[in-house]
Amino acid sequence: MIAVNNVSMRYGSKVLFEDVTTTFFAGRRYGLTGPNGAGKSTFMNLLTGELTPQQGTVTRPAKLGILRQDQFAFDRFRVIDTVIMGNARLWEALEERERLYAKESMTEADGMRLGELEGIVGEEDGYTAESDAAILLQGLDIPDALHERTMSELQGGQKVRVLLAQALFGHPQALLLDEPTNHLDLDSIHWLQDFLVRYDGTLIVISHDRHFLNAVCTHTADIDYETIITYTGGYDDMVLAKTQTRARVEADNAQREKKIAQLNDFIARFAAGTRASQVTSRRKEVERLQTTELARSNIQRPYIKFTMNRPSGRMALECEGVSKGYDGTPVVSGFSALVNRGDKIVLVGRNGLGKTTLLKALLSDAPNLPAAPGDLDAGTIRWGHEVSIGYFPQDHTGAIEKGLTVVEWLHRFDPEAARQDIHGLLGQMLFSGEDGYKPTDALSGGETARLLFCRIMLQKPNVLVLDEPTNHLDLESINALNVALQKFEGTVLLVTHDQDVMEEVGTRVWHFDGGRIHDFKGTYEEFAASLV
């Protein structure tokens, strides 16, 4: 159980939350939601103890599982040891035991201490620690061959998965997870979902994956209106309850305001007359009926709409024998496919199997994009008549030129567009007022993603190639993107680990498995059902 009592946090004039008192109970799984900037990570840091509240107290259990954000903090340690460090009491006992055994001669006190340490190791399941840690790593797609390596030898996404295993290790009394599905493929997300549903402690999780929150959470703690309100159920349940509550209060206010207007009219007409007692009673009634003041919501919803200058030909893409490998190792081999106008293809499979590699190969000589012949080893690719492509890369590095303002960079893609139209488009994606003059060097990950969508909307292509577009987006932006892709009349090639987007957008699946790519002509749900 974690108890929060009268906690407040503000930065300057901006209030994140004030006088929050709430309890997170064992056996419940809480999603911590709210728009970007509402204070989710701040609140999570208060719960972990990394931040001290400006007012109030936080009471937490002794044994916490925390998803660490510093990928480099454990670089000198073995992967398996990094996971075991998730149980601090066990790790300290193992280290002290090793130091004692390394002594050339032990005193009687050393022997007594060793006995105590062996007791701690036994209590904390230390004799099966390495095998328990290995099971967690395997579930998160870290193969056995990497378990003895140092963390410095791993790639960034692999390090994040090891740190997630660290948080889960040792059966902590409470789990605090900030964006645990980042860098996980769909199989690993499903494994994590199953693990968390079985977990019997207190879980608090921040995620921008709506499907994950709905699948895992029994309750939702929503940060908005400068407070935290807990709802029963997952994310969709919270949105429904929150909307209904807001609508009910607004309707009540409308009725009260109508009644107050009638009473004030009576008071104005008879205040100076002989009906003083009736006027007094009506004034008291007005005071009683004062409407509930509605706090302003922090939620901002972008408006995404993909339109086309003109449709492509009936065939959007034809490829034959497409192959690409690295350092002599094939990643994509001999892939052939015909993509028709209007197909919405989702590329699925575990990380590292070639989804991004295939997209880059298909775009190696694509219309209105820079040529990249090194991204294709063999095969032929023919893009259809009148095809124009909007590309959202997984790696944003270098995607936006430095040394410009946001408006200047975006204007380059349509020099004839009026500045007013450019600002309007930026406003749709939540770049308000002076944000248009922000230097491109200073953009956050979320701002970079939203600006790339602005470019695509400005260019109005008929083929969208989107590689992990939901990374760095909050739930409101992901929902807006989901709806926009469903309504788009052109062709889509999409890599995402967001299951709701897969299910609601995709009409066809390219499944990467065991060095092969299976072309399934049907929705993701139909594809998933075919595997059962």
Of the pLDDT bands very low, low, confident and very high (cuts 50, 70, 90), residue 473 is confident
Report, as an integer, the average pLDDT of 255-267: 77
Place of tokens 């006027």: 279
Q: Kind of pairing, strands 29-33 and 14-24? A: unpaired
Least confident of 142-156, 197-211, 247-261: 247-261
Report, as an integer, the average pLDDT of 413-428: 89
pLDDT at residue 531 is higher than 90: no
pLDDT at residue 268 is higher than 60: yes
What is the reported pTM?
0.75
Helix, strand or coil for residue 142?
A: coil
What is the structure's pLDDT at 257?
75
What is the structure's pLDDT at 216?
95
Report whether 137 contacts 163 (CB < 8 A). Answer: no
Can you read off the two tokens belonging to residue 508? 């066809």
What is the structure's pLDDT at 258?
78
**Angle 445-459/419-428 helices, nearest 10 degrees?**
130
Report, as an integer, the average pLDDT of 68-88: 91
Helix, strand or coil for residue 444?
A: coil
What is the structure's pLDDT at 364?
94
Report, as an integer, the average pLDDT of 361-381: 93
Residue 509 is given by DSSP the state E
Read off the pLDDT of residues 380-412 as tens digits, 9 standing for 90 and up: 999 999 999 999 998 887 788 888 999 999 999
Report whether 186 contacts 348 (CB < 8 A). Answer: yes
Helix, strand or coil for residue 463?
A: strand
How many CB atoms are closer than 10 A to CB 380? 11
Read off the pLDDT of residues 336-366 as tens digits, 9 standing for 90 and up: 999 999 999 999 998 888 999 999 999 999 9
Topology given in CATH for the domain delimited by 2-238:
Rossmann fold (3.40.50)
Q: Which of residues 110 and 21 earns the better pLDDT score?
A: 21
Of the pLDDT bands very low, low, confident and very high (cuts 50, 70, 90), residue 263 is confident
Report, as an integer, the average pLDDT of 414-426: 88
Determine the Cα–Cα distance for residues 451 and 448; give it in Å rounded to an integer.
5
Mean pLDDT of the chain: 89
Report, as an integer, the average pLDDT of 435-458: 88
Q: Which of 208, 205, 210, 216 lies closest to 240, judged by CA? A: 210
Query: Identical fold at 2-238 and 315-403+457-531?
Result: yes
How many CB atoms are closer than 10 A to CB 227? 16
Least confident of 170-184, 234-248, 406-420: 234-248
Spans of all domains in the chain: 2-238, 315-403+457-531
Read off the pLDDT of residues 297-328 as tens digits, 9 standing for 90 and up: 656 778 999 999 999 999 999 999 999 998 88
Q: Which of residues 412 and 243 earns the better pLDDT score?
A: 412
Give the H/E segment covering residue 23. strand 14-24
The single-letter code of the amino acid at 171 is H
Q: Which of 188, 197, 240 lies closest to 217, judged by CA? A: 197
pLDDT at residue 270 is higher than 90: no
Pick the CATH number of 315-403+457-531 from 3.50.50.60, 3.90.226.10, 3.40.50.1700, 3.40.50.300: 3.40.50.300
Determine the Cα–Cα distance for residues 498 and 394; give it in Å rounded to an integer.
14
